[in-house]
Each structure stands twice: as C-alpha cells, then as structure tokens.
Amino acid sequence: MKINFPRIILTCTLTVMSFANASAQNNDAATEAKIDQLVKKMTLEEKISMLHANSIFTTSGVARLGIPGLSTDDGPLGIREELKAGGGWAPANLTTDSATFFPNGSAIAATWNPSLANRYGIAIGEEARARGKNVLLAPAFNIARTPLCGRTYEYYSEDPFLNSQLAVAAVEGIQSQHVAACVKHFALNNQETERGRINVEVSERALREIYLPAFKAAIEKGNAWTIMAAYNKVRGEYCSENNYLLNTILKGEWGFKGIVISDWGGTHSTVTAANNGLDVEMGSRPPYENYYFANPLLDSVKAGKVSEKTIDDKVHRILWVLYKTSLSKNLPAGSLNTPAHSKTVYDIASESIVLLKNDKHLLPLKTAGLKTIAVIGDNATHMNHLGGFGAGVKAKYEITPLQGLQNALGKTVNIKFAQGYRARVINPWQKNKNDKDVDVNKPDPALIQEAVNTAKNSDVAIVFIGGNRDYESEGRDRKDLSLPFGEQALVDAVTAANANTIVVIIGGAPYDINKIKKDNHTIVWSWFNGSEGGHTLADVLTGKVNPSGKLPFTFPVALHESPAHYLHTFPGDSLTAIYKEGILVGYRWYDTKNITPLYPFGYGLSYTNFAFSPLHTDKKDYKLNETITVTTKVKNTGKIDGKETVQLYIGKLGSAVERAEKELKAFKKVMVPAGKEVTVRLSIPVKNLAYYNEQSKKWVVEPGKYKVMTGASSRDIKSTVTISVIN
C-alpha cells in the first residue's frame, strides 16, 4: 500500500499554519479594537501626557485606565543603573541595580555571528524585564563612516549587510522578552562633532544602499517596535521632524507601526515635529510640562495646528507597543546577572577577538615551562563598563585582562604587572584651569622604565594598550587615529627589552598601528568585551579559545586615505557635512580606489589554517526572480579545531553606473574540526544585486555579468566565478 506521508504532513502543516495566522490576525484585530476603545476614553490632556518624558527615562501612563507609561533605559552595553528621582543624571546608588556588562557593538559585529547577536538580545532583554523596563534603547548601528566617530565602539560596522544581519538578530532577541528594542539613531548620525546641529547632505543612492538598509531590515524583518530619531539634520531638517525619513520612508514605505522616540533633548519644534512623524519627546531637563510635546502641543491642538487625529495616531502607537510589552500576556519575569548571561558574554567575547599577527607562532602561549609573564599597560587593569559620556552599566563584575590571566595561569606562572602608562583623558566637560597645559599623550619615562625592567626578567611580555571608554566616547570624535597616552613609546621600549613581546590592543574603533604591525610579530585585537572580557582574552592567549573574530571595519594606513577625510567632508563645513564619497564607504572605497588598507574589512587570523576549495554556483545564468546558490568547501589544514567565516562578495562587471569593486552579500561562520572539511552553502536572491536608481526611484538589477567571490576577508579572495543575470 502506498502511503503518501509527505503530503499528509504538508496538509497538516498548512492547516496548522493557517489556523495560527488566523488566530494571530484575530489577536491583532482584538488588540486594535481594545486600543481604539481606550483612545476613545481618554481626554486630550491624558493623551498629550503620554507623548513626552516625565523623568529622564520615563513617560506617563493613564492610571485610571490601567495604562502604564514607557519605562526606557540604555542601552547597548547593559541595563544602566537607576537614577535618583529628580536628581538629573545622578545615580540612585541602589544595591539592586547592577547588571551584566555586555560586549560593545563593534565586538558583537566582529563575531560575524548573528546567532550571538540574538543571544545578546535575549540576555539583555531578560535583564531589561527583570529591571522593569519596557523599552531598551538599543541596538545602535549607524554606519562607521569615519574611524574617528566617538560612537564607533557602540555601533557595528561599515557594511550595510553585516549591519542588517546583526541588527535583525539583536532586535528579535530583545523583543522575544516582551521588551521593545529602540533601534538608533535614525538616521545618519555618523559623527559626534556638532551632532546636534550638523546637516547631512547625502545622495539618495547612498542613503538607500548604505545608511538605511539596517534600519529597514530591523523594521521590516526584525519588527522593531520603536526607533530613535537622531540628533542631526538630514537635508536641512532635524531627524526628529524629518518628514521624508519619518513619514515617507519609515511609516510609509516600511509600514512602521511602532513609536518614533526623539533622542534626549533632540526635539526642536512642536507643530512640525508632531506633523512630520515624531511620536514621543524625551529629554533630561525639567520642567517636563514645558516640553514641545507637553503644554505647547496641547495648545497647538486647541489652535488647530495639529489635528487630534494625529495625536490619536501617536497614542495608538504607544498602546500598540504596550500591548506587546507591559500589557502583553505571559509577560516573562526576566532575570539579572545570571550565569547564563555571563556565558553569553563569554561566548560573544571569545568569538570577537581578532588575531592580527602571529608570525612567530608565539600564540597560543606554550604554558609548559612558562615561569614568568610580564603583564604591562594600564589596559590590563582598566575597566570599561563605565566611562566617558553616555550610556554605561553598573556592572555586577568585570574581569580585567590581568585578573583573567591570573585566574588562568596564576597557580603555575609568576605574573608581574607594570602599569606602563597613565590613561588620563581630560574631557571638555571636566576641564579645569590646571589641566590646560597637560599633554596626556606624553610617555611617562618612570613607568616605561619600570615596565622595561619587568619585561626584561620575564619569559614573555604582554603589553595591553589601546583606548578605553573615556577616550572613545559619545559626544565627541577622536582628533586622530594615534595611540593615546604615550603607548607607542611603551610598546617600543618593551619590545626592545623582550623578544617575546605580545601586543594586545583594546579598543572599539580603528587606531594607527602601522608601527606595531611593522615592528611586532604578535598582535591581538580585543574590545570592551563585557563582564567576562578578561577571561576570554586569557583563554585566547592560552589557546583554550581559538580566535575567530574578523574586523567589522577597515583600518586605514592613514586617516587621510579614508573616504570622508580624503574628500575633506569631515566634520563638515559651515555645519554641513556633504557625503561626497556617496556609496563608496569603508572597503567599498579602498577596493574601488585601489588603496591598500592597513588591515582590511573582514580580516582575522586563527591558530589553525583554512583552505578554501573553488566555489561553485548552481547555474551560470540567472533570471531576476531566482536565487544564486554558492557552494564552497573549507578545510582545516592545521592541528586544532577552528571557526572560519566564509565571506561572499559580488562585483558587477561593466556596469552602466558607478558600483563598488565588491559588496558583501552573504557570509557564514563555520566550525571546522582539525583535518576536516565542511561544505558551506550560501544563497543570494538575484534581487539583492540591485542598485538604487535615483531617476526611477527604484531598485534595479542590471542584466549582465557579475563576479561572485568567496574569501576570508575583503582582500583575501580565494575563488571567483562569473555568472550572468538575464532579463
């Protein structure tokens, strides 16, 4: 008897699915009806009270109708501590509000692993729930247009595809905990210099191809429930009152149903902002009743300048988000500082660390017979959960690199520490008159001498340098790429004193490490890697973890070679930044202009070696509605297991319009056991080869030939095949 199981299963699945869809629609319809009812019951005053802050991180609800307010909190690094009621930004000094410190944005991006971004989202979402927040002001993923941007460490990448994959995964994780993600900063907040006044002029094509894709993906695929309008202007209008960005694109084209929240103090008008798409005004300075979206908005409605329908739409959006969060069924309790969250931090951090150079095979450290290690540099003991201006987290704990090494090797190895340099940052808002002439970047001869003495008498010297969260900060951009605090002099001196010197650089953005690349044989890049940062770094150095991080942005040889600087468009003239480089951002610029970077996008070594087989595409010619399937094999030719990221780039041959030499279109990180080979399959819908045509205002796939490239970085292409797209 022939039983057609697959068909039966398929029919059942379809029935279950359509039942699920129908019930989701019923739920949606029921919620919509409830929302409409609630809005009808509210007075105009009650509605307006929901549209602006009533403390730094909260808005009002309507208690008589059982409507809670919004309880927001930063941010990407962890759930920020509570603030003293009415005390401005002063902490409440509670004993119950410490939280897990998560790796920074560029660290998450360096994992090239969306499943880790998703775990980050779930864990931080659980912490937000446990702390009673319904909106988490994260993730932040503005494009790394210039390496100097003070918030590069908070953001992900210079590439819109990598950005999108991580943003969607993080948003889905956060919202799985019934906490709204607030994706930020919409849009083009790519520099901190004059961020509150700068006007960005950008071509429509660069806007669509480079700066918007991750926001679009976070809204359309990730279903982010809230979004934060950026501080800056775009094409002459503040982002918080930018009709094109908020009404036309976000709420119109992308069908966004959630809340547009202003950045803190980033609202500049009542009527324009209300009519052009802003829903909630946040800020940190009372009196809140005078906010644009408080009494002035009430007056504007009464005067007929803003319709009550517009107000109802904003309230509707807030209620829609509340029904997905605080008012949702089966609201999880959340959890704080759990071992599982620490494990998530550990796993992210261990996949983020980038091995830049290992020419002497000094790493992983051969611990047998190792007697003394000199641990040198302020960054070996520097904590990064707090620092600088902007969002930090009162970490329950943070393991420093020195503690990590002590925990890993302290029983058998004599670990000696020397500070090496003093990490002093004089922030503009902290400057006093005695600081006027202090050169914080001057090497300290006494500390260097002490470091040299320590290094001389040790088997290995590990120098921890780089930035920290005072040096890389919201609110200002770095002046240049040079290493701060006299660190280069320290590295030179220690390297001369000990032939087994390892340089570990900790930072969230590119630095000038030309000299180190030239003079040093062993270089490791690490990030502000969260509560478990020191443990993961020690485990990478000792080989318990085989590094697999890949750079999420290009390190230029010189700042003036990077696009915004080459074209003199940073930080802008007369408060206008013209993005003259257009679509040629990051590696798109270096590759197209044939400029060799110091370290390319996607670069990162391993303790093992990988061999890529030639790539295969499933066909040679593709129609517009088809998908290109690419297969390649990756063989681990070394002796230890390792993870490799196969990066798939596409380049149009003979395009009628300007195109980048190559664009990342897919990637996959795979574990390959020693001596084994794995097959990696990647797919690209042909429609993803499109460029944005400014004349027709449409995405257009040009017919013709395309190069399909697989590589281990943007500059390490292993195999290329040409395919054709036919109409």
Q: Per CB under 6 A, does 74 bind ligand BGC?
A: yes
- Residue (231 or 691) nearer to ligand BGC, CB: 231
Distance separating alpha carbons of residues 366 and 540, to the nearest angstrom = 12
Distance separating alpha carbons of residues 576 and 689, to the nearest angstrom = 32
Distance separating alpha carbons of residues 140 and 105, to the nearest angstrom = 7
Active site residue 263: yes
Please, what is the minimum distance in Å from the beta carbon of residue 440 to ligand BGC?
24
The site string for ligand BGC over 345-384 (x = CB under 6 A, - otherwise) reads ----------------------------------------
Single-letter amino acid code for the residue at 425: V
Name the nearest CA neighbour of 410 among 535, 288, 515, 299: 535
Are the beta carbons of 156 and 213 closer than 8 angstroms? no
Residues 228-257 that bind ligand BGC (CB under 6 A): none
Please, what is the minimum distance in Å from the beta carbon of residue 332 to ligand BGC?
23
Q: Per CB under 6 A, does 97 bind ligand BGC?
A: no
Please, what is the minimum distance in Å from the beta carbon of residue 18 to ligand BGC?
41
Q: Per CB under 6 A, does 512 bind ligand BGC?
A: no
Q: What is the largest CA-CA distance in the chain?
A: 93
Backbone angles phi, psi at 301, to 5 degrees: -70, -45
Two tokens, residue 179: 């906490």
Distance separating alpha carbons of residues 281 and 291, to the nearest angstrom = 8
Q: In degrees, to the nearest 5, what angle opens at C-alpha 266 toward C-alphas 264 and 270?
A: 120
Distance separating alpha carbons of residues 612 and 295, to the nearest angstrom = 64
Q: Per CB under 6 A, does 192 bind ligand BGC?
A: no
Paired residues of 233 in beta bridges: 199, 238
Q: Per CB under 6 A, does 391 bind ligand BGC?
A: yes
Q: Which of 46, 49, 58, 75 binds ligand BGC (CB under 6 A)?
A: 75
Q: In degrees, to the nearest 5, what angle opens at C-alpha 646 toward C-alphas 645 and 652?
A: 140
Q: Per CB under 6 A, does 81 bind ligand BGC?
A: no
Name the nearest CA neighbour of 420 among 401, 441, 442, 445: 445
Please, what is the minimum distance in Å from the beta carbon of residue 183 to ligand BGC?
11
Lookup result for tokens 């399909």: 708
Please, what is the minimum distance in Å from the beta carbon of residue 49 to ligand BGC?
21
Please, what is the minimum distance in Å from the beta carbon of residue 263 to ligand BGC?
5
Distance separating alpha carbons of residues 480 and 529, to the nearest angstrom = 23
Does residue 484 have a cis bond before it (omega within 30 degrees)?
no
Are the beta carbons of 470 and 487 closer than 8 angstroms? no
Distance separating alpha carbons of residues 462 and 455, to the nearest angstrom = 9
The site string for ligand BGC over 201-230 (x = CB under 6 A, - otherwise) reads ------------------------------
Are the beta carbons of 223 and 178 closer than 8 angstroms? no
Distance separating alpha carbons of residues 291 and 296, to the nearest angstrom = 7
Paired residues of 395 in beta bridges: 99
- Residue (263 or 702) nearer to ligand BGC, CB: 263
Q: Which of 47, 129, 184, 341 binds ligand BGC (CB under 6 A)?
A: 184
Two tokens, residue 531: 């509560």
Please, what is the minimum distance in Å from the beta carbon of residue 244 to ligand BGC?
21
Please, what is the minimum distance in Å from the beta carbon of residue 140 to ligand BGC?
6
Q: Which of 264, 471, 553, 601 binds ligand BGC (CB under 6 A)?
A: 264
Q: Per CB under 6 A, does 52 bind ligand BGC?
A: no
CA distances in angstroms from 157 to 123, 140, 588, 645, listed in the order given:
22, 11, 13, 16
Are the beta carbons of 473 and 149 closer than 8 angstroms? no
Two tokens, residue 372: 């003394």
Distance separating alpha carbons of residues 665 and 667, to the nearest angstrom = 7
Please, what is the minimum distance in Å from the beta carbon of residue 264 to ligand BGC?
4
Please, what is the minimum distance in Å from the beta carbon of residue 80 to ligand BGC?
7
Please, what is the minimum distance in Å from the beta carbon of residue 530 to ligand BGC?
19
Distance separating alpha carbons of residues 404 and 413, to the nearest angstrom = 13
Q: Would you tell me how many other CB atoms lie within 10 Å of the CB of residue 85?
A: 9
Two tokens, residue 43: 């007075």
Q: Which of 73, 97, 263, 378 is catalytic?
A: 263
CA distances in angstroms from 489 to 497, 513, 558, listed in the order given:
12, 12, 19
Please, what is the minimum distance in Å from the beta carbon of residue 625 to ligand BGC?
40
Which residues lie below 8 Å from residue 47, measured CB to CB, with a gap of 6+?
39, 311, 312, 314, 315
- Residue (197 or 681) nearer to ligand BGC, CB: 197
Lookup result for tokens 């915004």: 564
Q: Per CB under 6 A, does 502 bind ligand BGC?
A: no
Please, what is the minimum distance in Å from the beta carbon of residue 74 to ligand BGC?
5
Helices (H), 294-338: 295-302, 308-324
Backbone angles phi, psi at 703, to 5 degrees: -70, 160
Are the beta carbons of 664 and 658 closer than 8 angstroms? no
Two tokens, residue 478: 């770095």
Q: Which of 137, 143, 322, 465 binds ligand BGC (CB under 6 A)?
A: 137
- Residue (137 or 630) nearer to ligand BGC, CB: 137
- Residue (74 or 378) nearer to ligand BGC, CB: 74
Query: 679, exposed or middle or buried, with CB in 10 Å at 0-12, 13-18, 19+?
Result: exposed
Q: How many residues bind ligand BGC (CB under 6 A)?
A: 8
- Residue (388 or 549) nearer to ligand BGC, CB: 388
* Interacting residues toward ligand BGC by CB under 6 A: 74-75, 137, 184, 263-264, 390-391
Catalytically active residues are: 263
